[in-house]
Chains A and B, each alone.
Chain A
Amino acid sequence: MNAISQDVTAMTDSSAATAESRAAKFMKRRNRIRFYEILVWIAAIAAIFVAPTKLLILTEIAILALFAVSLDLVLGFAGIVSLGHAAFFGLGAYIAGLMALHFIAEPVVGLIAAGLVSGVLGFLTSFLILRGSDLTRLMTTLGIALMMAEVANQMAWLTGGADGLGGFTVGPILGTFEFDLFGRNGYIYCLVVLFLVTMIARRLAFSPFGLSLKAIKGNPMRAGMVGVPARRRIVAVYSLAAVFAGMAGALLTQTTSFVSPDVLAFHRSADLLMVLVIGGTGYLYGGIFGAIIFTLLKDWLSVVTPQYWMFWIGLILVAMVLTGRDRLARWIEFLPDRFSRKEAGR
């Protein structure tokens, strides 16, 4: 409302107000729901009825997508390259498993607990990534993840060590919806969580907060000069991303009712980076598209050539970078632009 009224009087108002109204307009435009977003969610819901045999892989995609959305907040918005995001994912997975084993089998409680604990770890470690170059951050995050993996292996009395944590059953969701063998309820559960988290992340990313993050990504020093508290913003977004990553880990535990030590493995962080880059960074849905493409591709390749699928994934990566990742990732932007022009006459 406010924005619109300002819009009308913008011409005659003082220059400050004009700037404000332009800012409001800009924010509104950024915040507009795009065509492809609706498409994604409709397709995701329709899949329950149309593709009942593919729900398990869709569940995996939803979890990976959630994990990727979490990394996108850090990488795409704040510009922090992390090779250790699995630390939070794994912690969340273990917390959810331990909750189910010792305290309460109901998954939503476990999900929230996992998110909170991971968030605390994210907050504590965020201070380590404030300084340094890309390479330094890469290595610090990687180091943290590797140490977490080693801790999980050493504390076998708690985590089951290399054998993994099993022997628990995850109760029905909210006490009513049982996890079935076809993965239907599991999928719906993951989808709901993914939707909620994406909406929260979206709200945040396209707010002034998100803009200030992009400013930090662009040039931290300049961002500081125009009054953006860079350090505090980074700590906040990193902790939040950790919460989401922990939730993704919890979902994995709850849909598989098992925690294997490889939830903390290096390849998870590396795959994740790949997923995000395939889908494109900095607009949140990149994680979702990337997860869909990456998982289906990998599944298809590993059926066609169980031993050598890695070669083809590698080839695709190389080809992608050589043809220009940006060009490829922007394919999705063409769609909404065309539609949005029609609607809003931008």
Chain B
Amino acid sequence: MLTILFDGIAYGMLLFILACGLTITLGLMNFINLAHGAFAMAGGYITVVMMNRYGISFYWCLPAAFLLTAAIGAILERTLYRWLYQASHLDQVLFSVGIVFMSVAAADYFMGGQQQLINLPPELSGRMEILGVGIGRYRLFTIVVCAVLVVLLQLILSRTRFGSRLRAAVDDRRVAMGLGINVSFVFALTFAFGSGLAGLGGAMGAEILGLDPNFPLKFMIYFLIVVSVGGTSTISGPFLAAMLLGIADVAGKYYVPAIGPFVIYALMIVMLIIRPSGLFARGAGR
């Protein structure tokens, strides 16, 4: 029972790490970036290449995945994405689907179509028993990383100067510019940060979710579920949504396997009907 709860939490946390970058681009910058999974995949492949070809330790791969993916994100933002902030949602959807297609084919070309696997350091694999509850070490690691991330994100957004600049830039671009905020720089940095988070998620998820060229398509749906249920105006909304979905999914599959696959979708639709703009919508929502 507690093991299931633990697994659910770990799974939810993983979903959150993957999706929280999307929350940032979607919620703060109001950009529907379906290519989010492509950045996650990039992070995953960076980890695989570093670990399997160059034998670099897993712990170094995580920050590397974050930084490199953030760099890729920054380059794409400067060259492509920034032209589309003012475009319609439909345009953004199409543009990012185009990016997804290109990334899928590119990953296939460079890395091959097969599943990529990584081998974790021994201290992260296996499991231990604490008070009769079986705890997977890697899952525990995921939970810790995620918890740190949530706190950090919340602090950055609400307490730092950068956070307030960003929120100002989102709320009213022109006024923010008038106040001397370098809006395009703030956006670029935010986008890079969001992409970096995706990369980190991809690196961490490679162990549990697997990694192949279809990653962005396969998991796009899960990111979107988390973000749409959680709402896009806060960090805590998607966090709780991810936890809820993770636990419900794992518990549903354990206790009522016959309807297991429906749980997550049904839950999403019900949530969306009750709260169309997310769990913790702030005001009218955008």
| Chain B residues closer than 8 Å to A310, beta-carbon distance | 101-102, 104-105
Smallest beta-carbon distance B200→chain A, Å: 24
What 1/0 flags go to A116-152 for Cβ under 8 Å of B? 0000000000001001111110111011101100100
Q: Which of B29-82 contact A (CB under 8 A)?
A: 32, 80
Q: B94 touches which one: A139, A142, A147, A325 (CB < 8 A)?
A: A325
Contact check, B266 vs A147: say whether CB atoms are below 8 A apart.
yes
Contact check, A139 vs B98: say whether CB atoms are below 8 A apart.
no
Q: Which residue of the partner chain B has the closest CB to A146?
A: B265
| Chain B residues closer than 8 Å to A311, beta-carbon distance | 101-102, 104-106, 109
Q: A147 touches which one: B87, B91, B262 (CB < 8 A)?
A: B262
Interface residues on B, range: 35 or more
Whole-angstrom CA separation of A316 from B95 in the bound complex: 10
Whole-angstrom CA separation of A79 from B58 in the bound complex: 47
Q: B224 touches which one: A81, A142, A317, A318 (CB < 8 A)?
A: A142
Max count, chain B CB within 10 A of own CB: residue among A138, A139, A325: A139
Whole-angstrom CA separation of A187 from B175 in the bound complex: 58
| Chain B residues closer than 8 Å to A73, beta-carbon distance | none
Q: Which residue of the partner chain A has the closest CB to B225?
A: A139
Whole-angstrom CA separation of A307 from B217 in the bound complex: 17
Q: Is A322 an interface residue (CB 8 A)?
A: yes
| Chain B residues closer than 8 Å to A313, beta-carbon distance | 98, 101
Q: A308 touches which one: B89, B91, B93, B105 (CB < 8 A)?
A: B105
Q: Which residue of the partner chain B has the closest CB to A318?
A: B98
Q: Which of B215-248 contact A (CB under 8 A)?
A: 217, 221, 224-225, 227-228, 232
Contact check, B268 vs A322: say whether CB atoms are below 8 A apart.
no
Smallest beta-carbon distance B114→chain A, Å: 14
Q: Is B90 an interface residue (CB 8 A)?
A: yes
Smallest beta-carbon distance B113→chain A, Å: 9
Whole-angstrom CA separation of A317 from B266 in the bound complex: 32
Q: Is B97 an interface residue (CB 8 A)?
A: yes
Contact check, B109 vs A317: say whether CB atoms are below 8 A apart.
no
Contact check, B221 vs A146: say whether CB atoms are below 8 A apart.
yes
Whole-angstrom CA separation of A307 from B109 in the bound complex: 8
Contact check, A150 vs B262: say whether CB atoms are below 8 A apart.
yes
| Chain A residues closer than 8 Å to B104, beta-carbon distance | 310-311, 314
Contact check, A321 vs B94: say whether CB atoms are below 8 A apart.
yes
Contact check, B101 vs A317: say whether CB atoms are below 8 A apart.
yes
| Chain B residues closer than 8 Å to A146, beta-carbon distance | 221, 265
Smallest beta-carbon distance B102→chain A, Å: 4
With contacts A143-B268, A313-B101, A321-B91 taken as known, whether A131 is within 8 angstroms of B276 at the C-beta atoms is: yes
Whole-angstrom CA separation of A317 from B92 in the bound complex: 11
Contact check, B268 vs A132: say whether CB atoms are below 8 A apart.
no
Contact check, B89 vs A81: say whether CB atoms are below 8 A apart.
yes
Contact check, B269 vs A128: say whether CB atoms are below 8 A apart.
yes
Q: A320 touches which one: B94, B103, B285 (CB < 8 A)?
A: B94
Contact check, A133 vs B285: say whether CB atoms are below 8 A apart.
yes
Contact check, A314 vs B276: say whether CB atoms are below 8 A apart.
no
Q: B272 touches which one: A136, A266, A317, A321 (CB < 8 A)?
A: A136
Smallest beta-carbon distance A201→chain B, Å: 20
Stretch at the interface among A97-105, A175-183, A229-237, A270-278: A270-278
Contact check, A321 vs B98: say whether CB atoms are below 8 A apart.
yes
Q: Is B126 an interface residue (CB 8 A)?
A: no
Contact check, A322 vs B80: say whether CB atoms are below 8 A apart.
yes
Contact check, B99 vs A150: say whether CB atoms are below 8 A apart.
no
With contacts A133-B285, A147-B265 taken as known, whether A273 is within 8 angstroms of B272 at the C-beta atoms is: no
Whole-angstrom CA separation of A341 from B21 in the bound complex: 51
Contact check, A133 vs B269: say whether CB atoms are below 8 A apart.
no
Whole-angstrom CA separation of A320 from B26 in the bound complex: 22
Contact check, A132 vs B276: say whether CB atoms are below 8 A apart.
yes
With contacts A132-B272, A150-B265, A311-B106 taken as known, whether A321 is within 8 angstroms of B84 at the C-beta atoms is: yes
Q: Which of B260-286 contact A (CB under 8 A)?
A: 261-262, 265-266, 268-269, 272-273, 276-277, 285-286
Whole-angstrom CA separation of A267 from B220 in the bound complex: 12
| Chain B residues closer than 8 Å to A266, beta-carbon distance | 217, 221
What 1/0 flags go to A73-100 for Cβ under 8 Å of B? 0000000010000000000000000000
Contact check, B32 vs A314: say whether CB atoms are below 8 A apart.
no
Whole-angstrom CA separation of A322 from B286 in the bound complex: 24
Mark A residues whose CB is within 8 Å of B: 81, 128, 131-136, 138-140, 142-144, 146-147, 150, 154, 266-267, 270, 273-274, 277, 307-311, 313-318, 320-322, 325
Q: A139-B228, A321-B95 are in contact. List 16 more A-B contacts (CB 8 A).
A: A135-B32, A135-B232, A136-B272, A139-B224, A139-B225, A142-B224, A270-B97, A311-B102, A318-B95, A320-B94, A321-B84, A321-B91, A322-B80, A322-B84, A322-B95, A325-B94
Q: Which 9 A-B pairs have the closest CB atoms?
A: A314-B101, A317-B98, A311-B105, A132-B276, A314-B102, A318-B98, A321-B95, A139-B228, A310-B105
Mark B residues whose CB is within 8 Å of A: 26, 32, 80, 83-84, 87, 89-91, 93-95, 97-106, 108-109, 217, 221, 224-225, 227-228, 232, 261-262, 265-266, 268-269, 272-273, 276-277, 285-286
